[in-house]
Amino acid sequence: MKLKFFTFLLLIGLAACNKSPEQIKNTANREEFKFLEKDIDFIRQGYESNAFTVQEVVQAYLNRIEQIDKNGPKINSIISINPDALKIAEELDKELKEGKIRGPLHGIPVILKDNIDTHDKMPTTAGSRALMNSFPLQDSYVAKKLRQAGAVIIAKANLSEWANFRGELSSSGWSGVGGQTKNPYVLDRNPCGSSSGSAVAVSANLTMLAVGTETNGSIVCPSQINGIVGIKPTVGLVSRSGIIPISFTQDIAGPMARTLKDAAIMLGAMVGIDSADSKTLASEGKYYTDYTKFLKKDALKGKRIGLYKAPLGNNYKVDTLFNQAVKFLKSRGAEIIEIDRIGAPRTGYYSFQIMLYEYKDGLNKYFQSLGENAPIKSLEDLIAFNKQDSVELKYFNQAYLEMAQKKDDLNSKEYKDFLAKMLRGSREGGIDSVMNLHNLDAIIAPTGGPAWKTDHLNGDSFQLGSSSPAAQAGYPSITVPMGFIGELPVGISFFGRAWSEPLLIEIAYAYEQGTKHRKMPEFLVHD
């Protein structure tokens, strides 16, 4: 089927500008945006040489959001713009003139998934109409750390509402507040989720960096489907305080970028021990403020890498690309050991039950943190709101909210039993067991399949995925581009033991730099 590009057809006529669709595409991607596919190093060098200011960079990204996200192809990845972004940029420019650099992200535009609290003029909504006017009383720990590092938070990204743990037959990237986010490669395709807008904004060059969150797959799936890099850290490496929760055991925030180097720079700015998140206490002595020291192009030689076979056999086109990736890894000196299974039986069931228990507890605590003016006071209030709202239940139900509401508190014997079984099955009976048995440095698998057509009637159509072993264990995973199936990108995941981010970054970087599969999207539509 012939493909046509239609960016800017709503703004300018072909006859008036006398340009072909191909020329318009090239104009949109190259001539009108001078920071296209640029990285942090490029921006830093520009500031050092006075080639441009922070204000000019931020304004350029804001203009591109207006042109690409709100007009043209209307990819719909952004929920709100920070009205103080240019003011913040002005302050950062002043500091640069004074020779002051806050940190590694000084003057770098960042977008946050809209379940991450910011204490500014942007609400934090989780994509829910119930929180459209919810303004947190303080920054999340992640937002605070990014500001300290000099980042400019320019916007909040759309997401699968409530991080895609609300109901059955949901469509990833849809929220009551933001509507449906589109895949920038082919616009009727899905962006995956729940960090949909974060991934799309990075891929479409609406920002340099974004933050996503993951409970199971919500960083790595949208990253791979949108052709970018995503890092899901070890639970405890990055604080969750001020992030609307699902699971205290599995939730984590992580960087999303077009290159692993940019993601590594951002990760170093996000880590740290936070007294408000007890999980971070375990990271003492295990985190780094600079992960770029682990970017080694020759890191594959002598590495023992497990090949997780379970996702294979679902899509021969994905298998073909994955086999090419394995061949590359072997060519650079890695030894590949096949693994049939990771984790004990029923681990996924225990994980789901734990999520329901922790969701109720976490949401009620989050609503309480919003103070006496909170629009929603409890999970029970939220369920009641959705039943009365004209939009929220239009496409899918709220079964998971209702199931969570029926759960007891976290003192429940059942909850504690499920938690112990899940952690044992995913850790000492899962990743740790397999890696110890075969003396592995990392495990690889296809991250997922190509994007499916968005379908609000039937919901998502996943073919395959590999996020569960690392997600259930709370261990790290990195996805980088693996190639294309037609116009659609897919990724490869590297995961392993707790706190093994340095080793995974080494291995993933060697693969990324040796293959360089990233290609920018062109906002295609089918006839």
Neighbours of 169 (CB within 10 A): 14
Cα-to-chain-centroid distance, residue 34:
25
Positions of CATH 3.90.1300.10 in the chain: 33-164+172-454+466-519
Strand partners, 526: 3
Report DSSP state, residue 242: T
CB 483 within 8 A of CB 321: yes
Query: What's the first-to-final CA gap in the chain, in angstroms?
Result: 7
Catalytic, out of 77, 80, 160, 194: 194
For the question of residue 331 being annotated catalytic, the response is no
Q: Is 33-164+172-454+466-519 CATH 3.90.1300.10?
A: yes
Residue 218's alpha-carbon distances to 51, 127, 225, 380, 424, in angstroms, are 37, 15, 11, 25, 23
CA distance 416 to 424: 12
CA distance 442 to 305: 5
Sign of CA dihedral 361, 363, 366, 367: negative
CA distance 491 to 222: 10
CB 354 within 8 A of CB 348: no
User: Which residue's structure tokens are 């609300």?
Assistant: 166
Q: Would you give per-residue pLDDT tens digits along the chain (527 residues)?
A: 333 333 333 332 323 333 334 433 444 554 489 999 999 999 999 999 999 999 999 999 999 999 999 999 999 999 999 999 999 999 999 999 999 999 999 999 999 999 999 999 999 999 999 999 999 999 999 999 999 999 999 999 999 999 999 999 999 999 999 999 999 999 999 999 999 999 999 999 999 999 999 999 999 999 999 999 999 999 999 999 999 999 999 999 999 999 999 999 999 999 999 999 999 999 999 999 999 999 999 999 999 999 999 999 999 999 999 999 999 999 999 999 999 999 999 999 999 999 999 999 999 999 999 999 999 999 999 999 999 999 999 999 999 999 999 999 999 999 999 999 999 999 999 999 999 999 999 999 999 999 999 999 999 999 999 999 999 999 999 999 999 999 999 999 999 999 999 999 999 999 999 999 999 999 999 86
For the question of residue 128 being annotated catalytic, the response is no
CB 176 within 8 A of CB 392: yes
pTM of the model: 0.94
Catalytic, out of 196, 218, 247, 500: 218
Strand partners, 359: none
CA distance 293 to 46: 23
Tokens, residue 146: 């990014």
Closest CA relative to residue 354, chosen from 298, 265, 419:
419
Catalytic, out of 25, 80, 113, 232: 113
Helix (H), strand (E) at residue 526: strand 524-526
For the question of residue 87 being annotated catalytic, the response is no
